[in-house]
Amino acid sequence: MNTNGTLIEALGIEILSASSEKVEAKMPVDERTRQPFGLLHGGASVALAETVASIGGLHCVDPEREVCVGLEINANHIRGKKDGIVKAIGTPLHKGRTTVVWEVKIFDEDEKLICVSRCTLAVIQKRSS
């Protein structure tokens, strides 16, 4: 997957592993991902969570015929973070014919929970060009 010029690249997200059962990624907490008060921006956490869920969703469908796109996401921001790295771990809750639902938990280096998210993806047919 080419992430050049995408939000994934802009936020410094790195995919560590990906399958239909688990996706792991990390993201720096730095000037790209902080809000003006110096804490990890909630939107950056949500972007990380949706990235993890979307990559997991792609592993649950036939990539020749289908893609997954975000339908709904929610997040609970549990703890603030000023610097370092956060790691996201996503696992599927539901793998259906028309929707895929992933839970994504984001942790700091000490494995303290920073954010928990649930993302519903729509499975859509690829359009022929």
The pLDDT, as a whole number, for residue 39 is: 98
Q: CA dist 34 to 62, 88, 117, Å?
A: 36, 17, 19
Q: Which residue has the higher pLDDT, 1 or 19?
A: 19
50 catalytic, yes or no?
yes
What percentage of the chain reaches a pLDDT higher than 90?
Answer: 95
- Looking at 14, 50, 72, 111, which residue is catalytic? 50
| Mean predicted confidence (pLDDT) in 103-115 | 98
User: What is the value of pTM for the model shown?
Assistant: 0.96
